[in-house]
Chains A and B, each alone.
Chain A
Amino acid sequence: MLTGVTMAGSLVGDRIGGTRGDAERRARRFATRELRPRRTMVALTTALGVTGIAGAAAVELLAVALGTGLHPVPGAEENLSRLRTLPWGDPRVRAAAGGMVLAGLVLLAAALPGRTRGVPLAGADPCLAGVLRRRDLRRTLADAARGVPGIVRVRVWGPWPGVGMVVVASTRFRNRANIAELVRGAVEVRLRRAAPLVPPPVTVRLTCRRD
């Protein structure tokens, strides 16, 4: 009987744990999707360019196809005549082609998912995404490190993928003793309070007085 109750409790526990894990996974997916950079300005500029250039080309081509003898797009006639004499090897043509390749690569890079806007926070609501600016995370960690007695200057770098946060602190003491551990402890406590979705590892570099 006791074994049956324990088994049932274990099954319910597994079920609750599974549901919570599933919710956290969905929350993580939602946060990643929501906080992905939108590239609105790049997309808006590109859409405007595509519409303008393709529209002008369509109007010009239709005018030629219909045999109207008109060039509705200003400057099109001169440019089209110039292309009759301009060779592919001309430096201007090559520069334009190089610019096209570069612009294309920039657009392809912009289409990549990229890193999230800010540091996503941990949560279990699949329709809720929390985010903290990277700059604010650095500032709050620096604030925590500055609270350790003897620390006079702190710079925080990151978070970088694979590296995490790097805290560079200076103490006014000549003997570093366990100050680095105290700084690490203070920073890690503050990091837990910030509750990032993926807590970055913390590296502390301490410099002390040399005179």
Chain B
Amino acid sequence: MRIPLAATGAVLAGCGLLALRLGDADPARPVRDPALDRFAAVHGWFLPALAGLAEIVAFAGTLWLMVQLRTLVERWRPDVDRATRVRARAGALRLRQEARALAGVRDVRVRLTGSLDRPRLIVTVVCAGDTDLGEVYGALGAGALTRYRGTVELPDLPVVVRFRLVFRSAAPEPDVTAAV
């Protein structure tokens, strides 16, 4: 998705620079040059070709927009069949139970995203501030997530584990300044 962004940026910056240069070179020349109107009147192919080019760009933009919208929607509602959805629900329940049993884990949220061609599992693990994250991460990868992949029958399912830390509100430090 970065190539269309870069291409649009390059075209926009290029056109802007060209316009600035034209402003420097011939500031009195009108933006819609009469010579352009004359050229279009003489060459009948010019306007249809320009319209065709605009159509192509609009079509490419529509495709890009559809891909973006699909990605956005699939982040919240995965494009998978009913059987996979049921298996994913069962797997998520088990994954949540297993993860919550790990030391320091307070809460777990599991979300299957994407489509059957490009699925993703997003696991959000809320832990206490001093939790050994390396241990929790290793235990999840070696056990609970492997079983989840088995349950949904997607052995190579890419998984992203997002850790969130929660801290107890710290007790106010006793003021011992006077005693020192």
Contact = CB atoms under 8 A, between A and B. Distances in A.
Interface of A: 30, 34-35, 38-40, 42-44, 46-48, 50-52, 54-55, 57-58, 61-62, 64-65, 80, 83-90, 93-94, 96-113, 118, 121-123, 125, 127-133, 136, 139-140, 143-144, 146, 152, 172-174, 190, 192-195, 209
A61 B14 contact: no
B130 interface: yes
A98 B20 contact: yes
B116 interface: no
B54 A104 contact: no
Given A121-B134, A123-B138, A111 B158 contact: no
B65 A44 contact: yes
B-side interface mostly: helix
B16 A87 contact: no
A58 B29 contact: no
A50 B65 CA distance: 9
Interface residues of B, number: 72
A96 B22 CA distance: 13
B90 interface: no
B61 A88 contact: no
Given A139-B167, A194-B133, A110 B4 contact: no
27 contacts: A34-B158, A39-B2, A44-B72, A47-B4, A48-B61, A50-B8, A50-B57, A58-B51, A61-B54, A64-B47, A83-B31, A86-B30, A86-B31, A88-B19, A88-B23, A90-B23, A100-B12, A101-B17, A110-B9, A121-B161, A125-B141, A127-B157, A143-B130, A190-B130, A193-B130, A195-B133, A209-B180
B161 A54 contact: no
Nearest to A151: B173
A110 B141 CA distance: 32
A131 B159 CA distance: 11
Contacts of B163: 121, 130-133, 136
B167 A127 contact: no
B30 A87 contact: yes
Given A88-B27, A98-B16, A128 B141 contact: yes
A109 to B, nearest CB: 8
B58 A51 contact: yes
A130 B173 CA distance: 34
A172 B19 contact: no
Contacts of A109: 9
Nearest to B67: A47
A111 B5 contact: yes
Contacts of A47: 4, 61, 64-65, 68
A84 B36 CA distance: 11
A104 B9 contact: yes
B145 to A, nearest CB: 7
A85 B26 CA distance: 14
Nearest to B69: A44
A131 B162 contact: yes
Nearest to B64: A47
B23 to A, nearest CB: 4
